Structure 1
Amino acid sequence: MDHAVVIGASMAGLLTAAALHRRFATVTVLDRDTLPAVDVHRRGTAQSRHAHGLLARGRETIDELLPGITAELVAQGAMEGDLQRHSRHYHAGRMLARGDSGLIGLLVSRPLLEGQVRRRVSALPGVHVSPGKVVTGLLSRDGRVTGVRLADGEPIPADLVVDAGGRASRTPLWLGELGYRPPEEERVGIDLRYGTREFRRGPSDFGGDLVVVIAPTVESPRGGVALAMEDDRWIVTMAGYGEGPGLGLTEFAEFAAGLWAPDLHRLVSTAEPIGEPRTYRIPAGIRRRYERLARFPEGLLVVGDAVCAFNPIYGQGMTVAALEARMLLDPDLRPLPFFRRIAKIVDGPWEITVGGDLVMPGVEGDLTPKVRMVNAYLERFHAAAAHDPELALRFLRVSNLYDPPPSLMSPGTLLRVLRSGAQRAVPVPA
């Protein structure tokens, strides 16, 4: 095939181009933003100023698409770490047991990660990354998308168009213009508000650990993370449902004091602050059900946040985007089979995030008896995983998208949880 066009130079768009260059003579990536020549934040990715970690599965997949990129990032200051041995994971009021998991995550700032990915993708044969290009519509003929139209009226013909335009994707609107039904949309109103500050990192902080994750609970619906980054920095992001931290150092520390584990409060109260604090707000988690459509034009695909925009506090978005990009290596690029394949990727993390969100105060959505039962079981699971490294590893394999969520309720796992003696009731749905 000759030419593919990717809408958006986000991580999803760049990884999409990395996959498509193996199948197309030319790949053009179009982005409305001005793309920086150095590794700095850019206007089109406001969330880049907040904590980003790369899960083990995401790191492995990006290395498949761009061989050697992990080593390149580490050479520039990024850090690898075992996500069980070098991390503190607090869930349901307990810290998961330590162990050697073999799950190696990557600790790196979003500007450095995206910048290096963009450099590698731009250097691939036949790939062109074009900034300042606003796509306003699709070209089509005889039920097939044949390219895109830019804001200045310029047509760009293509054999395949992939929309990686994020939450603001216009594909649902464009489908209507072409005479197709848009996908049904699932929304979970979370009103997540978060704030971020950076701090100087010392070698003795957290005893040398690289990651701290404090998940919100129903009793304390605030969460936060501290991730080590290049240049001896911590990035600390804290969030709440319907409330976020103030950005003044005193207000930021007061919010941290409201977390049920003390680690982040100790850090932000004693470490040297650097840089400017930032806020962000996510009103809802959104999933567009392209896989349920009966008709869809050939020559058009959708990936990344344009398909499913998760609650970012779970940190799964970049890994899902990488796995979706890898699906583009499949010989069958017909839209509906592709959407059914990536739906299997999205199902697990969507189940995890929605199940966790729906029990939080003020979250809008259908809290079914099944969700109540699963969350009650997970409380008991985490109580057991606090002193059982094998259970902790099984949870981390799910959260890193190696295993599906139902694996946490396999017969062997259930028996291990029940034998743990963790005293948390698991109600049966009415």
Structure 2
Amino acid sequence: MGHAVVVGGSVGGLLAARALSDRFERVTVLDRDRFPEVAAARRGVPQSRQAHVLLAKGAAALGEMFPGFAAEMVTSGVPVGDAHADCRWYLDGYAMRQAPSSMQCYGVSRPLLEHLVRRRVRALPDVEIIDGAEVTGLLHDGPARGSRGRVLGVRVRQDGADREIEADLVVDAGGRGTRMPVWLRELGYGEVPSSTVRTGLVYTSRHYRYVPGGDDFAVVMAPYPGMPRAAVIVRQDGDRVVLLLAGMLGAEPPVDDAGVRAYAESMPGPEIRDFLRTAEPIDEPVRMRYPSSVRHHYERMPRRPAGFVAVGDALCSFNPIYGQGITVAALEARLLADEPGRYFERAARLLANPWSLATGSDLRFPEVKGQRRMVDRLLHGYLARFRVAAARDAALGAAFLRVSNMLAGPAHLLAPHIALRVLRGARRIPVSRGGNPPAEVDLSGSSRI
């Protein structure tokens, strides 16, 4: 095939370019930002300084596209941890039992990950990366009304001059702020159907100096109904530890030292509170607002033009506290490598599981606005017992992590052998919640929590 243009040069766009380089003679990546020569945060990626981690599935996908990528991360100073043995997980306030596993996670910062991927993509002979180039519109074969039409390229403004770039395929990797739905509406294709789950998430990240000797690669305290707060600490490259505090539904995390310590005191376990007693900050907190998760359903459009696809947050943006974005972008890129022609239908099937996982967790909160099914109440009840039982049964923790690392779909948690472990749990299991003395939980009836 001929020429593909990727609109957006962040991680999702770069991975798309790598995938398309196997099918197209030329691939051009356009981004309005100026790319740094080293690993550094940039204005066009506002979440650059926020906490990041690469899931096991994402690391595997990157390794397929860039052989030796995991080793390259480690050589660059990225710490590696066992997602089960080296990470402390608090689910619904209960500490999940730890155990060795084969699931590795990588504490790679967003600037370093993007830098390593961009360096690999720049080295491809058929890919050109052009920064400082803003895409302002689409080239199209004529009025869309009554016909499918086709995208023929993009309009670009660079150094004060406008020009046109023709392409056989245009990839929208413009992130949450993409203009593609607006451009398609202006061309006469109507609205792009979308799903939205509003959480009102606000989160902050701050980096601290890493002091060797700590046992944990990461500590994750997930939110749950009645506790719309989350806290995460994870080791990152550069001998740092990043602290993420998040709040939903109006529970905004503070940025002052006293407020941060008080926020940590309210969390289920003592680890983050204890960490902050001696931690040395090396930068200032950075706050972000994430009002809702949004999924664009291009596959449901009655008509859409040929010659374009969308990837990453431009297609579906998830609640960031679940850490799915980069992994999903890598899996979408693999779809492009196979066959772009039926991409949107195949991407919809790919997105079904991670979207269900993320929004299902958010919709447990009665205050969160979004579409609910009749079966959700029963499912949430079962999963509540699952989380309690995982405090004692490491096999349940492993099942949870396989799903959260996107190595298995959510249905894995309902498999007969998993359900049996939940239902056959000891009648009264002592588990710790909220840093308080162990609570007695009756798994055969209603949980007293």
Q: What's the TM-score once normalised by structure 2's chain length?
A: 0.91
Structure 1 partner of 2:134: 134
Shift of 1:372: 2.1
Shift of 1:195: 1.1
Q: Secondary structure of the residue that 1:99 maps to in structure 2?
A: coil
Q: Secondary structure of the residue that 2:291 maps to in structure 1?
A: strand
Structure 2 partner of 1:360: 365
CA distance, structure 1, for counterparts of residue 166 and residue 273 of structure 2: 54
Contact 1:376 1:426 in 2 (8 A): no
Alignment of 1:12-161 (within 5 A): 12-141=12-141, 143-151=149-157, 152-161=161-170
CA distance, structure 2, for counterparts of residue 293 and residue 376 of structure 1: 35
Query: Whose helix proportion is higher, 1 or 2?
Result: 1
AA aligned to 2:241 is W
* 2:375 aligned to which of 370, 374, 380: 370
Runs of 4+ in 1 over 6 A off after TM superposition: none
Contact 2:425 2:443 in 1 (8 A): no
AA aligned to 1:66 is F
Q: Secondary structure of the residue that 1:246 maps to in structure 2?
A: coil
AA aligned to 2:195 is E
Shift of 1:347: 1.0
AA aligned to 2:156 is L
Shift of 1:295: 2.1
Q: Secondary structure of the residue that 1:369 maps to in structure 2?
A: coil
Which has the higher mean CA deviation after the structures are superposed, 54-63 or 379-388?
A: 379-388
Structure 2 partner of 1:181: 190
Structure 2 partner of 1:222: 229
* 1:290 aligned to which of 284, 298, 305: 298
* 1:388 aligned to which of 393, 406, 409: 393
Q: What's the TM-score once normalised by structure 1's chain length?
A: 0.95
Contact 2:94 2:268 in 1 (8 A): no
Cα gap change, 1:366 to 1:424, in 2 (>3 Å): farther
Structure 2 partner of 1:213: 220
Contact 2:423 2:444 in 1 (8 A): no
Cα gap change, 1:94 to 1:300, in 2 (>3 Å): same
CA distance, structure 2, for counterparts of residue 49 and residue 370 of structure 1: 39
Q: Secondary structure of the residue that 2:98 maps to in structure 1?
A: coil
CA distance, structure 1, for counterparts of residue 194 and residue 443 of structure 2: 35
Gaps of 5+ in 2: 143-148, 428-441
Shift of 1:257: 1.2
* 1:350 aligned to which of 351, 355, 358: 355
AA aligned to 2:198 is G
Contact 1:88 1:96 in 2 (8 A): yes
CA distance, structure 1, for counterparts of residue 139 and residue 404 of structure 2: 39
Structure 1 partner of 2:247: 240
Cα gap change, 1:173 to 1:164, in 2 (>3 Å): same
Q: Secondary structure of the residue that 2:285 maps to in structure 1?
A: strand
Alignment of 1:254-273 (within 5 A): 254-273=262-281
Q: Secondary structure of the residue that 1:46 maps to in structure 2?
A: coil
Contact 2:33 2:131 in 1 (8 A): yes
Q: Secondary structure of the residue that 1:359 maps to in structure 2?
A: coil
Aligned Cα root-mean-square deviation (Å): 1.5
Shift of 1:139: 0.7
- 1:170-221 per-residue CA deviation (whole Å, 9 max, x = no partner) reads 111121222213321111111101111111112222xx22111100111211
AA aligned to 2:116 is Q
Gaps of 5+ in 1: none
Structure 1 partner of 2:238: 231
Q: Secondary structure of the residue that 2:299 maps to in structure 1?
A: helix
AA aligned to 2:340 is L
Shift of 1:359: 2.4
* 1:339 aligned to which of 336, 344, 347: 344
Q: Secondary structure of the residue that 2:396 maps to in structure 1?
A: helix
Shift of 1:61: 0.2
Q: Secondary structure of the residue that 2:244 maps to in structure 1?
A: strand
Q: Secondary structure of the residue that 1:134 maps to in structure 2?
A: strand
AA aligned to 2:191 is P
CA distance, structure 1, for counterparts of residue 224 and residue 329 of structure 2: 27
Contact 1:82 1:105 in 2 (8 A): yes
Cα gap change, 1:264 to 1:112, in 2 (>3 Å): same
Shift of 1:424: 4.5
CA distance, structure 2, for counterparts of residue 178 and residue 424 of structure 1: 57
Q: Secondary structure of the residue that 2:80 maps to in structure 1?
A: strand
Q: Secondary structure of the residue that 1:321 maps to in structure 2?
A: helix
